[in-house]
Amino acid sequence: MLLEVRDLHVEFRTRDGVAKAVNGVTYGVDAGETLAVLGESGSGKSVTAQAIMGILDMPPGRIAGGEILFQGQDLLKLKEEERRKIRGAGMAMIFQDALSSLNPVLTVGDQLGEMFTVHRGMSRKDARAKAVELMDRVRIPAAKERVRQYPHQFSGGMRQRIMIAMALALEPALIIADEPTTALDVTVQAQVMDLLAELQREYRIGLILITHDLGVVADVADRIAVMYAGRIVESAPVHDIYKAPAHPYTRGLLESIPRLDQKGQELYAIKGLPPNLLHIPPGCPFHPRCPMARDVCRTDVPPLYEVSPTRGSACHFWRECLDDYDG
Amino acid sequence: MPEPPYEHDGAIAGTGFGGAMDLATSEAETLEKTPGGPEGTGPAGKPRSLWSDAWRDLRRNPVFIVSALVILFLVFISLWPSAIASGNPLSCDLAKAQEGSQPGHPFGFDGQGCDVYTRTVYGARKSVTVGVCATVGVALLGSVLGGLAGFFGGVWDSVLSRITDVFFAIPVVLGGLVLLSVVTSNTVWPVIGFMVLLGWPQISRIARGSVITAKQNDYVQAARALGASNSRMLLRHIAPNAVAPVIVVATIALGTYIALEATLSYLGVGLKPPSVSWGIDISAASPYIRNAPHALLWPSGALAVTVLAFIMLGDAVRDALDPKLR
Amino acid sequence: MGRYVVRRLLQMIPVFIGATLLIFLMVNVMGDPIAGLCGDRQCDPATAAQLKKEFGLDKPVWQQYLTYMGNVFTGDFGTAFNGQEVTELMSTAFPVTIRLTVVAIVFEVVIGITLGVITGLRRGRPVDTGVLLVTLVVISVPTFVTGLLLQLLLGVKWGWIRPSVSSDAPLDELILPGLVLASVSLAYVVRLTRTSIAENRRSDYVRTAIAKGLPRRRVVTRHLLRNSLIPVITFIGADVGFLMGGAIVTERIFNIHGVGYQLYQGILRQNTQTVVGFVTVLVLVFLVCNLVVDLLYAVLDPRIRYA
Residues paired with A12 in a beta bridge: A19, A61
Q: Considering only alpha carbons, which residue of chain B is nearest residue C129?
A: B29
Give the span between the Cα atoms of A141 and A163, in whole angstroms.
Answer: 15
Mean pLDDT of B121-141: 90
- Chain B residue numbers with beta carbons less than 8 Å from the beta carbon of A276 are 35, 42-43
Give the span between the Cα atoms of C36 and A1, in whole angstroms.
Answer: 93
**Residue B97 pLDDT class (50, 70, 90 cuts):** low
Residue to test with chain C: of B3, B31, B178, most C Cβ within 10 A: B178
pLDDT of residue A227: 92
Of residues B75, B111, B119, the one with CA closest to residue B94: B111
Contact B257, B193 (CB under 8 A): no
| Alpha carbon of A18: minimum distance to chain B alpha carbons (Å) | 8
Dump the DSSP string for B91-158.
---GGGTT---BTTBTT-B-TTS-BHHHHHHHHHHHHHHHHHHHHHHHHHHHHHHHHHHHHH-HHHHH
- Chain C residue numbers with beta carbons less than 8 Å from the beta carbon of B296 are 148-149, 152
pLDDT of residue C181: 92
- Which residues in A have their CB inside 8 Å of a CB on C? 53, 55, 57, 84-89, 92-93, 95, 97, 100-106, 114-115, 118-119, 150, 152, 166
> What residues contact A297, with CB distance under 8 A and at least 6 apart?
A283, A284, A286, A287, A290, A316
Domains identified in chain A and CATH numbers? 3-100+174-324 (3.40.50.300)
Q: Considering only alpha carbons, which residue of chain B is nearest residue C184?
A: B18
Residues paired with A61 in a beta bridge: A12
**Residues, chain C:** 307
Question: Using omega within 30 degrees of 0 as the cis cutoff, is the peptide bond preceding A60 cis?
Answer: yes
pLDDT of residue A118: 92
Any CB–CB contact under 8 A between B45 and chain A? no
pLDDT of residue A295: 87
Choose the closest CB to A105 out of C212, C215, C227.
C227
CB atoms C199 and B6 under 8 Å? no
Alpha-carbon separation of residue B231 from B210, B239, B244, B246 (angstroms):
17, 10, 19, 20
Any CB–CB contact under 8 A between C32 and chain A? no
Any CB–CB contact under 8 A between B326 and chain A? no
pLDDT of residue B120: 87
| Alpha carbon of A59: minimum distance to chain B alpha carbons (Å) | 10
Alpha-carbon separation of residue A226 from A1, A73, A323, B185, B194 (angstroms):
20, 26, 19, 79, 67
Chains in contact with C, where contact requires at least 3 CB pairs less than 8 Å apart: A, B
For A321, the enclosing helix (H) or strand (E) is helix A318-323
Between B168 and B92, whose confidence is greater? B168
Termini Cα distance of chain A:
33
Mean pLDDT of B55-59: 81
Dump the DSSP string for A122-158.
--HHHHHHHHHHHHHHTT-TTHHHHTTS-GGGS-HHH
Can you give the C-alpha Rg of chain C in angstroms? 24
pLDDT of residue C299: 82
Low-confidence ranges of chain C (pLDDT < 50): none
Mean pLDDT of A20-38: 90
What's the burial of A258, exposed, middle or buried (CB within 10 Å: 0-12/13-18/19+)?
exposed
Would you list the domain boundaries of chain C? 2-72, 91-300
Q: Is the pLDDT of residue A35 over 90?
A: yes
| Alpha carbon of A88: minimum distance to chain C alpha carbons (Å) | 4
Give the span between the Cα atoms of C244 and C285, in whole angstroms.
Answer: 9
pLDDT per residue over C225-272, tens digit each? Answer: 988 988 898 889 888 888 888 788 899 888 888 898 888 888 877 777
- How far is C-alpha C307 from the chain's CA centre? 29
> What residues contact A221, with CB distance under 8 A and at least 6 apart?
A34, A35, A36, A209, A238
- Among A103-117, A190-204, B16-30, C168-182, which is the least confidently predicted range? B16-30
pLDDT of residue C40: 55
Q: Considering only alpha carbons, which residue of chain A is nearest residue B45?
A: A276
SS3 of C136, please? helix
A142: left (phi over 0), alpha (psi -120 to 50) or beta: left
> What residues contact B143, with CB distance under 8 A and at least 6 apart?
B203, B204, B207, B242, B243, B246
How many other C-beta atoms can be found within 10 angstroms of the C-beta atom of residue A99?
Answer: 16
Give the span between the Cα atoms of A219 and B244, in whole angstroms.
Answer: 51
pLDDT per residue over A254-284, tens digit each? Answer: 887 776 666 666 666 777 788 888 888 888 8
Alpha-carbon separation of residue C267 from B109, B192, C34, C90, C248 (angstroms):
33, 20, 12, 15, 12
Give the span between the Cα atoms of B209 and B151, in whole angstroms.
Answer: 10
**A276 secondary structure, DSSP code:** P
pLDDT of residue B33: 31
Dump the DSSP string for C262-287.
HHHHHHHTT-HHHHHHHHHHHHHHHH
What torsion do the CA atoms of C258, C261, C265, C268 make, to the nearest 10 degrees?
150
Could you tell me the sign of the dihedral formed by the alpha carbons of A146, A150, A155, A156, in that order?
positive
Choose the closest CB to B43 out of A15, A21, A274.
A274
The model's pTM: 0.81
Half-sphere exposure of B249 (CA within 13 A, CB side): 34
| Alpha carbon of A119: minimum distance to chain C alpha carbons (Å) | 8
Give the span between the Cα atoms of A285 and A247, in whole angstroms.
Answer: 13
Chains in contact with A, where contact requires at least 3 CB pairs less than 8 Å apart: B, C
The size of the B-C interface in CB pairs under 8 A is: 184
Of residues B209, B75, B203, B231, the one with CA closest to residue B137: B203
What percentage of chain B's residues is helix, strand, coil (to nearest 5)? Answer: 70, 0, 30
SS3 of C261, please? helix
pLDDT per residue over C98-133, tens digit each? Answer: 999 999 999 999 999 999 999 988 887 888 889 988
pLDDT per residue over B281-325, tens digit each? Answer: 888 888 877 777 888 888 888 988 998 898 888 888 887 876 554
Give the span between the Cα atoms of B286 and A107, in whole angstroms.
Answer: 56
What's the burial of C255, exposed, middle or buried (CB within 10 Å: 0-12/13-18/19+)?
middle
Could you tell me whether strands A91-94 and A311-313 are parallel, antiparallel, or unpaired per DSSP bridges?
unpaired
CB atoms A277 and B43 under 8 Å? no
Contact A171, A115 (CB under 8 A): no
Residues paired with A67 in a beta bridge: A6
Q: Is the pLDDT of residue B96 over 60?
A: yes
Question: Using omega within 30 degrees of 0 as the cis cutoff, is the peptide bond preceding A59 cis?
Answer: yes
> Helix/strand/coil (H, E, C) string of B208-250?
HHHHHHHHCCHHHHHHHHCCCCHHHHHHHHHHHHHHHHHHHHH
pLDDT of residue B273: 77
**Residue B18 pLDDT class (50, 70, 90 cuts):** very low
Taking only residues 207 to 246 of chain C, the set having a beta carbon closer than 8 angstroms to any beta carbon of chain A reads 207-215, 218, 222-223, 226-227, 230
Give the span between the Cα atoms of C153 and C193, in whole angstroms.
Answer: 29
Q: What is the mean pLDDT of chain A?
A: 87
Give the span between the Cα atoms of B160 and B177, in whole angstroms.
Answer: 25
Dump the DSSP string for C145-172.
HHHHHHIIIIIIIS-SS-SS--TT--GG
What's the burial of C118, exposed, middle or buried (CB within 10 Å: 0-12/13-18/19+)?
middle
pLDDT of residue B8: 33
pLDDT per residue over A78-98, tens digit each? Answer: 898 999 999 989 999 999 888
Give the span between the Cα atoms of A64 and A77, in whole angstroms.
Answer: 13
Give the span between the Cα atoms of B36 and A13, in whole angstroms.
Answer: 10
What torsion do the CA atoms of A277, A282, A283, A287 make, to the nearest 10 degrees?
-70
CB atoms B8 and C231 under 8 Å? yes
Q: Is the pLDDT of residue B9 over 60?
A: no
**Residue B7 pLDDT class (50, 70, 90 cuts):** very low
Give the span between the Cα atoms of B81 and B88, in whole angstroms.
Answer: 10
> What residues contact C267, with CB distance under 8 A and at least 6 apart?
B177, B178, B181, C275
> What residues contact B170, with CB distance under 8 A and at least 6 apart?
B198, C19, C22, C23, C279, C283
Choose the closest CB to A12 out of B33, B40, B43.
B33
Query: Can you identify the CATH homologous superfamily of domain C91-300?
Result: MetI-like (1.10.3720.10)
Contact B215, B234 (CB under 8 A): no
pLDDT of residue A29: 92
Residue to test with chain C: of B3, B6, B12, most C Cβ within 10 A: B12
Taking only residues 222 to 241 of chain C, the set having a beta carbon closer than 8 angstroms to any beta carbon of chain B reads 230-231, 234-235, 238-239
pLDDT of residue B34: 33
Give the span between the Cα atoms of B36 and C245, in whole angstroms.
Answer: 51
CB atoms C144 and B263 under 8 Å? yes
pLDDT of residue C264: 86
- Among B28-37, B99-108, C141-150, which is the least confidently predicted range? B28-37
Choose the closest CB to A55 out of C210, C215, C218.
C210
pLDDT per residue over B160-202, tens digit each? Answer: 888 888 888 888 888 888 888 777 777 888 889 989 988 888 8
Instruction: Identify how many contiguous H helices and E strands chain A contains and give both numbers.
Output: 13, 12
Mean pLDDT of B70-94: 81
Phi, psi of A92 (to 5 degrees): -135, 165
Residue type, A196: L
